[in-house]
Amino acid sequence: MSLAPIARRRCLKTALAIVGAGFVVVVPGAEADPGAVQPIRALSDGLLRVMRAGSGTPFPQRFQMLSPEVDSAFDLQAVLQLSVGPTWSTLPPDQQTTLLAAFRRYTVANYVNNFDNYNGQRFEIQPDTKSLPNGEQLVQTKIISAAGESHQLDYVMRRTPGGWKAVDVLADGSISRVAVQRSDFRRLVARGGAQALIQSLNQKTSDLSGGALT
């Protein structure tokens, strides 16, 4: 995947498709936690592996390659709950489970679809995080092409019982995926309930995988 202008737009699309615009407030003088960096470093390594595998490797195989890193890096239930909003708590447990599974498959498929070729790219990850309100941490990364062009992807990390997990992705350092995603998800749920969102996510996953994941 080249990071010339077209591919740069694809990386932005990836960031926006994972987790309106929002701005992060950094807390001056707050203590950073380097432990928040490790899940994102592992995710970046996983992305490089599927990029090197390339589109010649079957999509389901690349999906399985990347799934553990996505599961480790993200608190997908928190991201989904924030995106769906108050309606989430009114859904029956079986619908919550089905919706979360559909969201997970869509999230992994989106990464696999966008990071599908290797042309000398590398990830640059800042070793120190920035502290945010409520104890969250910001992990700053760049994906840099062989030609030196870079695109910024930052991850808002939250401490969970399972360790540090990403709960938002910021493209270009400020565009919040949760804010963008919220409008689409809540519109679908308002019109057709959880099933409408499930169907939409499943269709997007199928499209992203060229029908390999249905």
pLDDT surpassing 60 at residue 44? yes
Alpha-carbon distance of 114 to 206, in angstroms, equals: 14
CATH label, 5-207, candidates 3.40.50.10680, 3.10.450.710, 3.30.1300.10, 1.10.10.10: 3.10.450.710
**Domain ranges for the chain:** 5-207
Question: At 22, is the pLDDT very low, low, confident or very high (cuts 50, 70, 90)?
Answer: very low
Question: At 8, is the pLDDT very low, low, confident or very high (cuts 50, 70, 90)?
Answer: very low
For 103: left if phi > 0, alpha if psi spans -120 to 50, otherwise beta; the answer is alpha
What share of the chain in percent tops pLDDT 90? 76
pTM of the model: 0.86
Task: Tell me the one-letter amino acid at 14.
Answer: T
Q: What is the pLDDT of residue 1?
A: 35
Whether 40 contacts 20, CB under 8 Å: no
DSSP string, the chain: ---SHHHHHHHHHHHHHH---------TTPPP-GGGTHHHHHHHHHHHHHHHH-TTS-HHHHHHHHHHHHHHHB-HHHHHHHHHGGGGGGS-HHHHHHHHHHHHHHHHHHHHHHS---SS-EEEE-SS-EE-GGG-EEEEEEEE-TTS-EEEEEEEEEEETTEEEEEEEEETTTEEHHHHHHHHHHHHHHHHHHHHHHHHHHHHHHHHTTTS--
Decide which of 31 and 61 is more confident. 61
Question: At 20, is the pLDDT very low, low, confident or very high (cuts 50, 70, 90)?
Answer: very low
pLDDT surpassing 90 at residue 14? no
- 67-120 pLDDT, tens digit per residue, is 999 999 999 999 999 999 999 999 999 999 999 999 999 999 999 999 999 999
Alpha-carbon distance of 165 to 71, in angstroms, equals: 9
HSE-CB at 198 with a 13 A cutoff on CA atoms is 13
Average pLDDT, the chain: 88
Q: What is the pLDDT of residue 33?
A: 79
Mean pLDDT lowest among 14-28, 98-112, 163-177: 14-28
Q: What is the pLDDT of residue 182?
A: 93
User: Beta partners for 166?
Assistant: 74, 157
Q: What is the pLDDT of residue 31?
A: 57
Residue matched to tokens 């390659």: 65
**Average pLDDT, integer, range 153-161:** 95
Alpha-carbon distance of 4 to 13, in angstroms, equals: 14
Whether 164 contacts 78, CB under 8 Å: no
pLDDT surpassing 50 at residue 155? yes
pLDDT surpassing 60 at residue 52? yes
Q: What is the pLDDT of residue 134?
A: 87
CA torsion 49→211→182→27, rounded to 10°? 0
What share of the chain in percent tops pLDDT 70? 85
In the chain, the N- to C-terminal Cα span, in Å, equals 24
pLDDT surpassing 90 at residue 40? yes
pLDDT surpassing 70 at residue 146? yes
Q: How many CB atoms lie within 10 A of CB 9?
A: 12
Residue matched to tokens 């308002």: 190
